[in-house]
Amino acid sequence: MARYKEYSYEQGKLIPVHFKDQILPGSFEYALNHIIDHELDLSLFESRYQNDEEGAPAYDPAILLKIVLYAYSRGITSSRKIEQCCRSNIVFMALSADTQPHFTTISNFISSMDKEILSLFRNVLLICDAMGLIGKEMFAIDGCKMPSNASKEWSGTRADFMKKKEKIEKTISYILKKHRSQDEQEGGSSSMKEQEERHLSHLRSKAQKIRRWLSENQDKIGKNGNIKKSNVTDNESAKMATSHGVIQGYDGVVAADAKHQVVVHAEAFGEAQEHDLLKPMVEGVKENFKVVGKQSHILEKVAVTADSGFHSEANMKMLAEEKIDAYIADNRFRKRDPRFATADRHNKPIRKERPTRKYFAPSDFKYDEQRGKYLCPAGKELYLKNRNFEVRGLKGISYMAKITDCRGCDLRKRCLRNPHTRARQVTFFNGKTEQGGETFTHKMIKKIDSVKGRFLYSRRMGIVEPVFGNITSTLGLNRFSLRGKIKVNIQWLLFCMVHNLGKIHRYGLQPQMA
């Protein structure tokens, strides 16, 4: 029978360690160490410190930046965990030169980088550009919605929070009344009272939290004048729908280049909808290339693509005025694509069991070419009412059903929202404005439905989705651990920097760093 030498991973050994030898050439940490020491301009951190004549020496920002970026590359976001790694992990020891910064120093460094983070991101982008990693052929814009360090249960309006506070105070009064009754009767177990006391302390803390928020905040008002839900814990985050349900969080938006999926701009937004995020992303891309490569008109040469979440008439107008060659899908894009004609048969059975719409939409009214008439869902003919119907700046053709046809129709409840309406009217918009010109939305529809448009738009997913896959799966960012838009944006940009540094490590000119 074979015999092997005994071994144990539980044993330790005291050996001389040279930190420089632990950062192996060809590794990510080697590229990170070289770039921070030789390529990045860290003089922008010097304004933080005024200890040249007196005071304790500060930790070098280069050291802190190295361990933070390396920790993020390993999916470690906790400052306490980073401190622990600097004391026990040899690579962290080597990158930090065994300086062992405290977790509060690491946390304060990350959360206070709002003035420096964008410059650092642009410095890394400049290195990518100099190495030829940015093709400048097509940029894809998309967002990844992730939970933040806040609970959606603490979301609502001021009226909701007032009701919640009253409910908590009523519960507190009930518990106190119960305690007084037990004291008078000298009954009740001590363990039960202790448990209720802890519950009472928790309720008082929650009530105080709500009272403090109500005294310092007002309701948030949306663009249409309606009240938006606030959040007591992080009022800059938002409730947003995702494929995993409704979350309380932020939308991390990126613009990625087609050549190597380098992130050319990134920003985190506390907005549930993406309609208002296209313009700041476009302006951010332009500003980044203006600073990095003196290319102020970069988007006049590069195609831009985004999904239907960014589509609106205002955005299409903005892109046209900026002379940007954009390909933005609308929410009916797949309905018009013949390649998706049989898509329903691939859906899960549960999706086929969805209830039908409560009311008939204009798409339910079909045109009969033989009779030259529109037919309602009941098969009755509609007559032409107005060829120049105008609403909200758009022109369309309005048709109406006969009163006698609607009066005894079995589908009347599904066709007329108001039971007192005598007959159904339906309007088909033709993509024209009141002045007779095409809407910018209609122009984009014609553009993206072309052979070239469908080909270019089909590349969008392969450009931007790998970025989110790398950040969320490989780097391990599945939720933002900080609170407030400024801090969340810092964390998002740091992870996008790690993503770009990974591209430099993989595709960059490594022999120059040896």
Q: What local confidence, expressed as pLDDT, does residue 496 receive?
A: 96
Cα distance between residue 255 and residue 276, in whole Å:
15
CB 162 within 8 A of CB 78: no
Cα distance between residue 150 and residue 208, in whole Å:
17
132: left (phi over 0), alpha (psi -120 to 50) or beta: left
Cα distance between residue 172 and residue 204, in whole Å:
8
Residue 185: which residues within 8 A CB-CB, separation 6 or more? none
Cα distance between residue 363 and residue 361, in whole Å:
5
Cα distance between residue 284 and residue 117, in whole Å:
14
CB 264 within 8 A of CB 257: yes
Q: Residue 71 corresponds to which tokens in the numbers above? A: 């920790």
CB 394 within 8 A of CB 429: yes
Q: What local confidence, expressed as pLDDT, does residue 513 receive?
A: 44
The topology (CATH level 3) of 134-149+237-336+450-494 is: Nucleotidyltransferase; domain 5 (3.30.420)
Cα distance between residue 444 and residue 155, in whole Å:
37
Angle, CA of 29, 31 and 36, to the nearest 5°: 95
Q: What local confidence, expressed as pLDDT, does residue 498 receive?
A: 96
Q: What local confidence, expressed as pLDDT, does residue 410 receive?
A: 87
Residue 375 DSSP SS3: strand
Cα distance between residue 86 and residue 259, in whole Å:
36
Give 232's DSSP letter: S
Cα distance between residue 78 and residue 69, in whole Å:
12
CB 475 within 8 A of CB 498: yes
Could you list the pLDDT tens digit for every one of the 514 residues in the chain?
A: 899 999 899 988 888 888 888 999 989 999 999 999 999 989 888 888 877 777 788 899 999 999 999 999 999 999 999 999 999 999 999 999 999 999 999 999 999 999 999 999 999 999 999 999 999 999 999 999 999 998 888 888 888 888 888 888 888 888 887 777 766 666 556 676 777 778 888 888 888 888 888 888 888 887 777 888 888 888 889 888 888 888 899 999 999 999 999 999 999 999 888 988 999 999 999 999 988 877 778 888 899 999 999 998 889 999 999 999 999 998 888 878 777 777 666 666 544 445 555 788 888 888 888 878 889 988 888 888 887 777 666 677 888 999 988 988 988 888 888 888 889 998 887 655 555 567 888 889 989 989 999 999 999 999 999 999 999 999 999 999 999 999 999 999 999 999 999 999 998 755 444 4
Q: What local confidence, expressed as pLDDT, does residue 366 receive?
A: 87
* Domain extents in the chain: 19-47+57-128+506-513, 134-149+237-336+450-494, 158-218, 344-435
Element (H, E) at 85: helix 79-88
